[in-house]
Chain A
Amino acid sequence: MTDRIVFEDVSRFYGEVLGVNKINLSIPPGITSLVGPNASGKTTLMNLMTGLVRPSKGKILVRGVRPDEPEALFKLLGYATQFDSFPRGLTGFQYVHSSLLLNGMAEQEAERKAWAAIERVNLVEAAKRKVDAYSKGMRQRIRLAQAIAHEPVVMVLDEPLNGLDPLVRSETIALFRESAARGAHVLVSSHVLHEVDMISDQVILLANGYVVAEGAIRGVREEISDKPLEIVVRCDQPARMAAALFAHDHMVEARLHADGLGLMLKTKSPSTFHKQLNRLALDGIEIESVAPADEDVNALYEYLIGEEGGTK
C-alpha cells in the first residue's frame, strides 16, 4: 500500500465551516481527477495531502509519508496551486530555480533541472522575463514547471488546464499521461468534464465536503443502480428490437432515431439487456454498434452532484 495515497477518516473544519468530512480514499498511481462544484472540498483535499493544512481528524499517508514530514514529503510531491502564487519580482527561471533550491538541491543541479522543467512546458524563450508580465496560460505553465521540476512521483495540480490554449493543453495532457505511464500519481482538479473524462483513469467526485463517488468512471456508473443505463444501438431493425426488448421488465424507455437506423434505450439491468441483445443478433437483426450514452463524468456529475444542488 506504500504506492498509494491514503485518507483514513479525514475531516477538516475551518472553525464552524466544513472543509471536508469523513474522507476515506485509497488512490492508486495514475491520473486521478477531483471533480465537484465550487466549495465541494477539492482544494482542501489537495491542501491536506500537501500538508498546507492539517486535518482536524484522521490520518493521511502519501506513498507511506505523512504530510507533516515536509523533508520526506516534498521529495515525493510537487504542488501547483490553482491561483496565482508567485513571489513578486521573480523571472520564470528564478521562480523555478528558487523552488528547487528550497527543495534542497545544490545550485548547479537546481539550474539544470529548472531549465529542463521550463523546456518541458515550452517556456524557454520567456524564462528570463518576470512572471508578473506573463499571460494566464504562461503562468499556468510556469506553475506546472515548478511542480514537476524536482521530478516528484506525486503531482498535485489544482485546475492545471485552466487558461491553456488547445495546443499547450494537449501537450500538458501528454505530459500527465507520460508521468502516469511511468507510475506517478497525477492528481488534477478540473471543472472541464469532457477533459476529465478524456484523461482520467479514475475520478473522485466531491460535493459539500463529502466524497460521493470514487473509482474508475465505468465502475462508478454501474454502482448507480437507481438510474437506468442509457445505451445507443445502431442496427437495421430498431423497431423490431425495441418491441422484443420491451417484453421484459428491465426496459424503461426506447427512442427510435430519426434516420430509422438506431435507437436509444434505457435499461435497469445492463447484463440482462446484453444477453437479449445477443439473442436478437442471432435472430437476424444486424447490429452495427452498441455504446453507453451516459457512462461518462458528465453523467456521473449530473446524477450524483447535480441532484444535490451542486452547480454544473
Chain B
Amino acid sequence: MAVYKRSYRSYQGELTNPRFRFLILPKYAYERVFAPKYMVALLVAAMFFPIGCAAYIYLLNNLSVLTSLGLPIPSFLKVDATFFRFFLNFQGSFAFILTTLIGPSLVAPDLANNALPAYFSRPFSRAEYVVGKMSVLVLLLSGITWFPGLLLFGLQWSQAGWDWTSANWYIARALLFGGLAWVLLLSLVALALSAWVKWRTVAGGLILGVFGIGAGLATMINNILQTDWGSMLDLSRIMNTIWSSQFEIENSTGLEPFEAWMAFFAICTVCLLMLERKIRPKEIVK
C-alpha cells in the first residue's frame, strides 16, 4: 500500500466572471472564420452600402440647405422609413449570405469531431456553449445590419435636427428590433441546422434551402388551400411583415404582424429544441 503525502493543491487563484466566459468561443471562432481572404473581402463589401448611405444622407441634408431657398426635393430622395427599410433589406441580404458561409462552421465541426466533452468537462454549460456560438454570428451580423443602421439614423439626426428625429423616432426602434430579430433568426436557424446534420456543406445548403423551400411550400399551400396561412412557413415573408410593421409601411405579404411574430417565435422555439436535443456531451458507453 502506497503512503501519500497530501501536498497536492488545485489552482487557488482568481477566476474570471463566469457570465462572460461564453465570449471565449467567438475569440477563437473569428480567427478561423476570417482565415480565408474572401471572407474578409465579403465583410468589407458589406460596409460599402452603409458608407454610401452615409454619404447620401450628408449630401441630401446639405442639398436641402440649398433647396430651402425654394426648390423642392423629390420624394424618392427623402431619408425616411422607406429609406431605412431598404437599407435593412439590403444589409439583411448580406447578413444572410454571411450566415450561409459562417453558420455551418460553428457547431457542425464540433459535433463531427466529438468535441463537446472537451467543452463540457469545464465549468461551461450547454446554454453557454449555444450562446457563445451564437454570439459569433450575432456580433458579426449586428455589425452590418442594425448597428450601422442606427449610426445612419444618428447621422440623419445630427444633420436634420430634433424636429425630424422626434417625428421619426420609431425608425430607430424599427432598425434595432427589426435588425435584431433577423440576426437572431438567422443565427438560430444556422446553428440548429448545422447541429442537426453535422456536415458543413450540407448545413450550408440546408440554410439556403430552408428559405427557398419555405417560400415554395408557402406558395403551394396558399394556392391549394386558398389561404394566407401558408406564408407562415416562408421566413423571408415573415421577416418582411415584421419589418414593414416596425417601419410602419404597408405590406403586401398576406400576413398580419401578429401572425408573423407568432411564426417567428415558433421557428425560434423549434430551433432551440433542436439545439437542446443535439448539444449534449457525447455519451460513449463502453
Q: Do A and B come from one complex?
A: yes
Can you list 30 pairs linking A and B with CB atoms under 8 Å apart? A3-B6, A14-B283, A41-B285, A43-B286, A51-B120, A52-B120, A52-B121, A52-B281, A52-B283, A75-B10, A81-B121, A84-B113, A87-B109, A89-B32, A99-B122, A101-B21, A102-B24, A102-B119, A103-B11, A104-B21, A105-B11, A109-B13, A151-B11, A153-B9, A153-B10, A180-B4, A181-B2, A182-B6, A182-B8, A183-B6
In the complex, are the beta carbons of A40 and B286 less than 8 A apart? yes
| A302 interfacial contact with B, CB 8 Å | no
Chain A, residue nearest B14 (CB): A106
- One digit per residue, 1 when the CB lies within 8 angstroms of any chain B CB and 0 when it does not, for chain A 133-167 equals 00000000000001000111100000000000000
Q: How far is the CB of A122 from chain B (nearest CB, A)?
A: 21
In the complex, are the beta carbons of B281 and A181 less than 8 A apart? no
Task: Tell me the chain A residues, 55-86 only, with Cβ under 8 Å from chain B.
Answer: 70-71, 73-79, 81-86
Task: Tell me the chain B residues, 1-57 only, with Cβ under 8 Å from chain A.
Answer: 1-2, 4-11, 13-16, 18, 21, 24, 28, 32
In the complex, are the beta carbons of A50 and B28 less than 8 A apart? no
| B118 interfacial contact with A, CB 8 Å | yes
A184 CB contacts on chain B under 8 angstroms: 8
In the complex, are the beta carbons of A39 and B2 less than 8 A apart? no
| 15 more CB-based (< 8 A) A-B contacts, given A105-B16, A106-B16, A180-B4 | A39-B286, A53-B283, A77-B121, A85-B115, A85-B117, A86-B115, A87-B113, A87-B115, A89-B32, A95-B118, A99-B118, A104-B15, A104-B18, A105-B15, A146-B118
**Given contacts A42-B286, A52-B117, A105-B16, are A47 and B281 in contact (CB under 8 A)?**
yes
B122 CB contacts on chain A under 8 angstroms: 70, 74, 99, 102-103
In the complex, are the beta carbons of A183 and B11 less than 8 A apart? no
Task: Tell me the chain B residues, 118-155 only, with Cβ under 8 Å from chain A.
Answer: 118-125
Task: Select one of B110, B281, B285 contacting A87, CB under 8 A.
Answer: B110
**Given contacts A98-B28, A104-B21, A182-B8, are A30 and B2 in contact (CB under 8 A)?**
yes
In the complex, are the beta carbons of B10 and A14 less than 8 A apart? no
In the complex, are the beta carbons of B7 and A182 less than 8 A apart? yes
Chain A, residue nearest B122 (CB): A102
| B167 interfacial contact with A, CB 8 Å | no
| A216 interfacial contact with B, CB 8 Å | yes
A183 CB contacts on chain B under 8 angstroms: 4-8
Task: Select one of B1, B9, B110 contacting A216, CB under 8 A.
Answer: B1
In the complex, are the beta carbons of A86 and B21 less than 8 A apart? no
- One digit per residue, 1 when the CB lies within 8 angstroms of any chain B CB and 0 when it does not, for chain A 196-234 equals 000001000000000000001000000000000000000
| B114 interfacial contact with A, CB 8 Å | yes
Task: Select one of B5, B21, B109, B285 contacting A19, CB under 8 A.
Answer: B285
Task: Select one of A39, A75, A83, A94 contacting B285, CB under 8 A.
Answer: A39
Residues of B contacting A: mostly: loop
Q: How far is the CB of B222 from chain A (nearest CB, A)?
A: 42
In the complex, are the beta carbons of A201 and B109 less than 8 A apart? no
Q: How far is the CB of A127 from chain B (nearest CB, A)?
A: 15
B118 CB contacts on chain A under 8 angstroms: 81, 85-87, 95, 99, 146
Q: How far is the CB of A44 from chain B (nearest CB, A)?
A: 6
- One digit per residue, 1 when the CB lies within 8 angstroms of any chain A CB and 0 when it does not, for chain B 95-122 equals 0000000000000011011111111111
Q: Once the chains are docked, how many angstroms separate the CA of A204 from the CA of B16?
A: 37
| A262 interfacial contact with B, CB 8 Å | no
Please classify how large the interface on chain B is, using the bins under 10, 10 to 19, 20 to 34, 35 or more.
35 or more
8 closest pairs, A vs B, by CB? Answer: A104-B15, A182-B8, A88-B109, A183-B6, A79-B121, A52-B281, A102-B122, A70-B123
A3 CB contacts on chain B under 8 angstroms: 6
A29 CB contacts on chain B under 8 angstroms: 4, 6
Please classify how large the interface on chain A is, using the bins under 10, 10 to 19, 20 to 34, 35 or more.
35 or more
| A282 interfacial contact with B, CB 8 Å | no
Q: Once the chains are docked, how many angstroms separate the CA of A301 from the CA of B286?
A: 17
A78 CB contacts on chain B under 8 angstroms: 121
Chain B, residue nearest A36 (CB): B286
Q: Once the chains are docked, how many angstroms separate the CA of A308 from the CA of B215?
A: 59
| A38 interfacial contact with B, CB 8 Å | yes
| A247 interfacial contact with B, CB 8 Å | no
| A242 interfacial contact with B, CB 8 Å | no
B1 CB contacts on chain A under 8 angstroms: 201, 216
In the complex, are the beta carbons of B5 and A181 less than 8 A apart? yes
A47 CB contacts on chain B under 8 angstroms: 281, 283-284
In the complex, are the beta carbons of A38 and B114 less than 8 A apart? no
Chain B, residue nearest A177 (CB): B2
In the complex, are the beta carbons of A90 and B28 less than 8 A apart? yes
Q: How far is the CB of A50 from chain B (nearest CB, A)?
A: 5
Q: How far is the CB of A29 from chain B (nearest CB, A)?
A: 6
A21 CB contacts on chain B under 8 angstroms: none
- One digit per residue, 1 when the CB lies within 8 angstroms of any chain A CB and 0 when it does not, for chain B 76-95 equals 00000000000000000000
